Amino acid sequence: MSKHQKTPIDPVVLVLIGIVFIAVAIGLAVIQSNPNTVNITNGSGTVSQLLVAFVTGLTTGGLSCLAVQGGLLASSLAHQIEQDYAEQVAYGKTHRRVKAKAPVHSNSALPIFLFLVAKITAYTLLGALLGLLGSYLTLSPTVRAFLMIVIGIFMLGNALRMFNVHPIFRYFSIEPPKFITRYIRRTAKGTDTVTPLFLGALTVFIPCGVTQAMMAAALGTGSMAMGAALMLAFTLGTSPVFFVVAYLTTELGSRLEKFFMRFVAAVVLILGFVTMNSGLNLLGSPLSVQNLSRNLLPSNGGYATETDSAQSVAANEGLTLQVQNNGYFPRTIKAAAGKDFTLNLITNKTYSCSRDFVIPALNFYQLLPDTGTVQVSIPAQEKGSTLYFTCSMGMYTGRIVFE
């Protein structure tokens, strides 16, 4: 096979993709079936959101960003290295005992550091702008759901592109306008302190897939401060990996770099799948992994039925749903078909996104108080139907089954 001929789809890649999908589906199904899920988001919802953003940046965002933005940094570094080498050679000629060699690391730490400082600053400002924009747009859960699904598809497409599954996936990569890339390229030739700062700021024009998902989350906060904080946490998280890999990049060699890129592609694939799934939850779709698994697999318990609270029904007090930091309990409520009832949403020091309660089919969404009870009127539903409810992020889910 000649060098430039595309290899057919690697069967190992297909198997890997299949395993990833199945593993995530099983993982979500197992977590949902156990009401005592380990909660890592105790405490303030704001802090947990920022922590999740930071961890996302630390684990996957750094490598994903490096794949897209690393070239900008490398351009500046390469010129710096060439400059250093030229100086060494010139020095070697006048001092013949000195052996000239490329000082790969001696001056690369500072430009990388400056690059990252500028990138963090630029993305924080972008986060603030997105949050401000989000406060005016007031995205409804349905719009947010479609946004998540679109972003999820975009991430899946990018991951499949990185796996080189099919040429069609090339089109999931965003090509910046030529005047921007030309400007960035010509600016990268500078070796002064300002150039890496300037290049770092310009990375906002070429966000990687994970960054774009975080930008959508910043838009969804509807708050300038929260949007800025989210992007700050995320880009801070990306920085250690970015710094280390960029610093060692000349030592990695092509084989290790290929391994990193495949790892990034696998993680982007998982994130894309999870994002799409969250969008489906927010739409109240029975096709999301949680809803599908709940419908197909028997639950370990956690039902509340109308018969369990017959007296409360008689007193028109309705059924109760505990809204806790780690989700909704019980996850499945059985109710009688054909009659209205009241659903009591009870919070008690609840700060996570579970407070942002949504019933997509009824177009009901409300931010619940952190402690208290909110009553929701549920109109009569047909026998055999299901109403799904979720948090505004599509993460915590549950259902009401009418019998």
Partner 1 sequence: MIKKTFKVPDMSCTNCAMKLESLEDTLDGVREINASYHKLEMVIVYDENKLTDDQIIAEVKKKGYQAILA
**List of residues contacting partner 1 (CB under 8 A):** 3-6, 67-68, 70-71, 75, 164, 167, 170-171, 173-176, 178, 181-182, 184-186, 189, 206
> Contact, 218 vs 139, CB < 8 A?
no
Min dist CB 25 to partner 1, Å, is 30
Q: Which is nearer to partner 1, 170 or 349 (CB)?
A: 170
Q: Which is nearer to partner 1, 101 or 185 (CB)?
A: 185
Q: Which is nearer to partner 1, 177 or 384 (CB)?
A: 177
Phi, psi of 191 (to 5 degrees): -115, 10
Min dist CB 62 to partner 1, Å, is 17
Min dist CB 185 to partner 1, Å, is 6
Min dist CB 170 to partner 1, Å, is 5
> Comparing C-alpha atoms, which of 238, 269, 392 is closest to residue 23?
269
Min dist CB 106 to partner 1, Å, is 25
Min dist CB 115 to partner 1, Å, is 15
Q: Which is nearer to partner 1, 175 or 251 (CB)?
A: 175
Min dist CB 156 to partner 1, Å, is 17
> Contact, 246 vs 73, CB < 8 A?
yes
Q: Which is nearer to partner 1, 18 or 176 (CB)?
A: 176
Min dist CB 71 to partner 1, Å, is 4
Q: Which is nearer to partner 1, 106 or 173 (CB)?
A: 173
Q: Which is nearer to partner 1, 163 or 389 (CB)?
A: 163
Q: Which is nearer to partner 1, 21 or 169 (CB)?
A: 169
Q: Which is nearer to partner 1, 258 or 339 (CB)?
A: 258
CA distance 226 to 219: 10
**Total Cβ atoms within 10 A of residue 316:** 9
Min dist CB 275 to partner 1, Å, is 21
Q: Which tokens sit at 181?
A: 């890339």
Alpha-carbon distances, residue 198 vs 117, 191, 225, 310 (angstroms): 10, 11, 24, 67
